[in-house]
Structure 1
Amino acid sequence: MKNRILSFVNVRKAVSNRLYWIPLLILVLWTMIPLIWALSASFKTPVEVYKTPPSLIPESFNLTNYIRVFEYPNFWQYLFNSTFLAIASTVLAVSVSIIAGYAFARYAFKWRHILLLFILVPRILPRAALIVPLFTGMTAVGLYDTYLALILVYTASAVPLATWILAGFFKVIPKSLEEAAAIDGARPWQIIWYIVMPISLPAIITVSIFSLREAWNEFPFVLSLTSSSDMRTLPYQLFMLRDSIGIQEWPIVLAFALVTIAPLLILYLIFEKRVVNGIVGGAVK
């Protein structure tokens, strides 16, 4: 009887362990199927895309669409805009978040928890509600259609979440390390630079990638705060691609989209483990 019970328990555990893979498999398929279809279609001709029944494997791998993307008028200007805005806003957001997160984690000032809660308000509000006041404000101070306006907005959007993650990570760093450095004569900025930041590298990389991703993919703000074509970013131009080419050529549209998301995919693949460690270390604690 005891053996039967143990056997039943083992079978039940084995079935339960396998059932965990079902939602994971559904999520992977839900994510990967559109990406695989887009990759396949980007190597096809416009006529082949509309053939019935559709085929996942292209008849002949055609690189013409990617060549057209890189030869597209002002493509390199759009790439520069996306890269410059993403890097500049990420550096500023992470720098501000490190200082703010350390202050929230180490200094027990009044209303600290309430203030930490209120800095998430910009993340709660829909971006559509922020467009009109931002447009009015940037126009009033003469920053409309400038890099500075977008950098400031991107930075302000990234700081709240980055501060929360870093504050949670800084809390678990032993204070004894900082106290020992202070006894040796280290100044506060030296403690942060030489002790806190190296230990918190997974969290810093995590918030950096999150900030970079948000700035790279951003569309509503660049649409409302710029007007000249020289200020367009890759997501903005992807939105305008239909009007530019006159008709909906899905192969070139999908090739443009894949080129746009490729840098972020590469970053995630490189820093995947550090991102997971940073989220667990900062968001859970």
Structure 2
Amino acid sequence: MQIRWIEDFLTLADAKGFARAAERRHVSQPTFSRHIQSLEEWLGVELIDRRVQGVQLTPSGRIFREFAIDMLRRTYDMRALLRGQTSTAESLVRFSVAHTLSVTFFPRWLNELKGVLGNVLAHVNAVNVPEGARALTEGATDLLLAYHHPQLPVLLDPKRFPHLTLSTDRMVPFSAPLRSGAPKFKLPGQSGSGVPFLSYSSGAYLGQVVEMILLNSGEQLHLVRSFDTHMAEALKAMVLAGHGLGWLPESSAAREVSDGRLVSAGSRRWSCDLEVRLYRLAERGNDMVEQIWELLSGKK
């Protein structure tokens, strides 16, 4: 199998036409078609349903598309990493960062590190918290940046994986405002007219935090789940568009709150504090990892 076959297939799935896809890939249509057929032969399944008009993926094609996207991303990441590995191995730091923190906290924090330590070559992988913890235990990452709540701890042995608390955040329910400035949707809702609830996908750490808040509320809620995603930024976009209420880390909504585009959808009893923690393997890492840890732990 050739990487270009996969690239061709994803282009076809996006363009929804062999002629348009071949043009995007700068090859003739017959050549492009042969590439798709070669990929199907290698996989042993049909990816394109040729019995219908236009380009439609078969069930196997839809499944393979998800694998193909991940395969290409990992291949490109590997190539970029290996190209820089020979001369930068001692300064490269592999970060696994919780999705939301990779957008809100990490860019500013990395600038602060660079301001003290100089250039820090960072390879960043945005992850779900369990995925990041697994990468740390398997040695696939140097530092894990994640949220923490005492009732939902990251399952890492503290003796083998020490941590530092870098900051705090707060999980808050938000809604788009009415013209009056009051929230369009508000907790706990009213019987007979459930509030549209924009939730996180199963397994997402922030989703577990929200479920903990709801279970600990001790009050009957009138919510109707109408959306789920594992990305806080996607959930924020839905809240901003007025589709319902949803919980967001306060830091991720700061600008929208300041602009008056988001307002709190409930009192503080519907919120909870979170720590922002940095984890590492206790065994000595490369020089830059050690410099970062010493700086943050006050030893430098």
**Above 0.5 in TM-score?**
no
- The TM-score with structure 2 as length reference comes to 0.20
- The TM-score with structure 1 as length reference comes to 0.20
Q: Indicate the structure with greater helix content.
A: 1
Please identify the structure whose Cα radius of gyration is greater.
1
